[in-house]
Chains A and B, each alone.
Chain A
Amino acid sequence: MRNKYSVFSLIKNAFSYHENWQRAWKDPAPKKEYDAVIVGGGGHGLATAYYLAKKHNMHNIAVVEKGWIGGGNTGRNTTIIRSNYLWDASAGLYDHALKIWEGLSQELNYNVMFSQRGVMNLAHNLQDVRDLKRRTHANRLNGIDAVYLSTEEVKKFCPIINTSPNIRYPVLGGTLQRRAGTARHDAVAWGYARGADSMGVDIIQNCEVKGIKRNGDSVEGIETTKGFIKTKKVGVVAAGHSSVIANMAGLRLPLESKPLQALVSEPVKPIIDTVVMSNAVHAYVSQSDKGELVIGAGTDDYVSYTQKGSHQIVEGTLNAILELYPIFSRMRMLRQWGGIVDICPDASPILSKTSIKGLYFNCGWGTGGFKATPGSGDLFAHTIANDEPHKLNSAFNLNRFVSGDLVDEHGAAAVAH
């Protein structure tokens, strides 16, 4: 059992110079057999394991991760959390996650630094205005808080935005979801890992999956760099590498993996206390608690697994940022990086059973999976434990690409693709 984090444990450990904190999770060797194995130790995978143990009483399970936990897209995203999606199915999915976020630090006894600072989406042309108003109404019908703001209200909420009508893409209005915000991405992975580990889940790092063993139409186990692991249930949560794992099982997915970039500036004093996103000009920005501006750029249009994007993508984003926020013109950028995102044709995720019994996929989150981490884990755990999707993720099945019942969220995705 893990010791509880509290102000008392902080004081107690101060006396030993913080050198004797208990390990947050073990480093076990894989057992020969598990009831279920989760492939991918990012936020979604660790959350899946956590809820499998907590809500479905499955304790003989493992998470296998080829690198270190939270070292993939969980550690590379821009940490934005919101649920203002257009369609009912997406609203249900993302708001389910947002509701869990609201109590997550207490539930995990781990401060995920969830900050409901609001997310503003800007409109830069008349079609944006119509789309965002429609989305605001759709959100409110689904019980999601959303308001439409005029240009003046945008300026009042975030005074550093240049609302001059003379810029290339003037701000014509925007939407605001006040319950939305940001969280500390690493803490989410670590909090879920600690929680899962304390309930008996084996978190096995530096363990890459090399093959999926099938017996006819059922899963028998996985081949890894640490040997064969027998299991009847495999939940794949491998983000950009989902197709690689699917190919091992002889399964085809409707995904394309592309580089998505982000960058942060040098740290400065508080200047922007919310998150502002502009889909049309492809610029979004927030400020971390350390003071860095966190800026998200777009995806490249070609398939690549290199975790590097093209220079002109960053340049385009910074052009837009400078036009919208002239005050940032002398900021220096500190770091830039890329992650590989798996994009579905309808910009909605897949949380689904497959044609192979015991093989489940949680993928296709594209450019915006971080916000859904707790909800995704909860619903995917339900799907794996019951071999049936929860009603909140039943629309996000693989079969929608056959039936044509797509969930087109290109308009609500922050990054145009």
Chain B
Amino acid sequence: MFLINCPYCGERDQQEFKAGGEAHIERPKQPTELSDDEWAEYLFMRKNIKGVQFERWNHAHGCRKWFNMVRDTSNDEIKAIYKMGEKPPSQ
């Protein structure tokens, strides 16, 4: 349990938020031309990093907006928060 600084609402309790998994997974531009391996990669395979990970979160019980977060999964420390569409900060 930790506090999350929603870029729209400010600091709120983590239980107001829904984790949306790994960020910056690009939707295939040409879905019809994808091989089964590439589909598996896109749909199922995850980095699942122990350490600094880029992920999406949704302020589900607040403004309901999506945003991105850089978080260290080994200690739950939040490194950065940035809006959807913004460039991820360099580590």
Contacts and interface: CB of A to CB of B under 8 A. Distances in A.
A303 interface: yes
Most buried by A among B14, B37, B43, B44: B44
B84 to A, nearest CB: 18
Contacts of B39: 402
Contacts, number: 71
Interface string B1-29: 10000000000001100110100000000
B45 A301 contact: no
Interface in B11-69: 14-15, 18-19, 21, 36-37, 39-41, 43-50, 53, 55, 57
A255 B40 contact: no
Given A402-B36, A402-B37, A402-B40, A305 B74 contact: yes
B74 A254 contact: no
A252 interface: yes
B45 A254 contact: yes
A15 interface: no
Contacts of B15: 310, 312
Contacts of A402: 36-37, 39-40
A247 B50 CA distance: 10
B75 interface: yes
A320 interface: no
Contact of A253 (B21, B45, B50, B73): B45
Contacts of A253: 45-46, 48
Of residues B21, B47, B55, which shows the largest number of chain A Cβ atoms within 10 Å of its Cβ? B47
Contacts of A303: 19, 21, 48-49, 53, 55, 73
A300 B15 CA distance: 10
A297 to B, nearest CB: 13
B41 to A, nearest CB: 7
Given A303-B55, A303-B73, A306-B75, A243 B47 contact: yes
B55 A302 contact: yes
Contact of A241 (B1, B41, B46, B50): B50
Contacts of A311: 1
Nearest to B15: A312
Contacts of A252: 41, 45-47
Contact of B44 (A241, A254, A300, A306): A254
Interface string B62-91: 000000000101111000000000000000
Contacts of B57: 302
Most chain B CB within a 10 A radius of its CB, from A257, A310, A402, A403: A402
Contacts of A404: 36
A150 interface: no
B66 to A, nearest CB: 14
A306 B73 CA distance: 7
A301 B19 contact: yes
B18 A301 contact: yes
Contacts of A256: 21, 46, 48
Given A253-B45, A254-B45, A403-B36, A312 B76 contact: no
What 10 pairs across the A-B complex have the smallest Cβ distances? Answer: A302-B19, A243-B48, A254-B44, A252-B45, A310-B1, A402-B40, A401-B44, A301-B19, A312-B15, A401-B40
15 contacts: A243-B50, A247-B47, A247-B49, A254-B46, A257-B73, A301-B18, A302-B55, A303-B21, A303-B55, A305-B73, A306-B73, A306-B75, A345-B43, A401-B43, A401-B45
Interface of B: 1, 14-15, 18-19, 21, 36-37, 39-41, 43-50, 53, 55, 57, 71, 73-76
Given A243-B47, A252-B45, 4 more contacts: A256-B46, A301-B19, A306-B76, A312-B15
